[in-house]
């Protein structure tokens, strides 16, 4: 912990002296990616073994690539991109569940909410929402 604090202090000094590129590179080397944090959390909470962790990493990397491709396709309307993103996330969750033991599945269980029509809410949902907003 002391080394990390000393290193951060040094990086701030380097940045202040105009050695921004070196400071940025050093900071990036210390940073843990969101993917690594998510895998570490899943490994800790679900007691994943090394093989499971590698397979989860592959699933999550594939999910990220698919979502990036979906959002880069400007020919698809935003509402359909959102629906596609949800579908990709559900496929990833299903893939993770397939890797887990029964005991791990009990810990990972995430109930799915019923989705409304693609592209928005139903008229009843919208009316309920407007009603609630008007009551404020």
**Same-domain check for residues 92 and 106:** yes
What pLDDT tens digit does each residue of the chain (136 aa) get? 555 555 566 556 555 555 455 445 555 556 789 999 999 999 999 999 999 999 999 999 999 999 999 999 999 898 899 999 999 999 999 999 999 999 999 888 765 555 555 444 445 566 676 666 666 5
Alpha helices in 17-114 (DSSP H): 20-30, 34-46, 50-72, 78-99, 102-108
| pLDDT at site 6 | 53
Decide if 92 contacts 60 (C-beta within 8 A).
yes
Q: Which of 57, 48, 34 is nearest to 105 (CA)?
A: 48
- 63 in the same domain as 23: no
Host domain of residue 17: 1-31
Evaluate whether residue 14 is within a structural domain: yes
CA atoms within 13 A on the CB side of 9: 6
| Token pair belonging to 37 | 């944090």
User: What is the pLDDT at residue 107?
Assistant: 87
**Per-residue confidence (pLDDT) for residue 54, from 0 to 100:** 97
């Amino acid at each position: 912990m002391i080394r990390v604090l000393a290193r951060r202090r040094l990086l701030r000094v380097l940045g202040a002296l105009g050695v921004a590129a070196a400071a940025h590179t050093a900071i990036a080397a210390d940073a843990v990616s969101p993917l690594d944090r998510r895998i570490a959390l899943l490994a800790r909470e679900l007691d994943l073994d090394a093989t499971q962790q590698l397979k989860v990493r592959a699933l999550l990397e594939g999910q990220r690539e698919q979502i990036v491709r979906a959002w880069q396709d400007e020919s698809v309307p935003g509402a359909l991109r959102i629906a596609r993103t949800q579908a990709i996330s559900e496929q990833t969750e299903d893939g993770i569940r397939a890797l887990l033991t029964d005991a791990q599945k009990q810990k990972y269980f995430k109930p799915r909410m019923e989705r409304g029509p693609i592209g928005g809410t139903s008229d009843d949902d919208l009316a309920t929402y407007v009603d609630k907003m008007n009551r404020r």
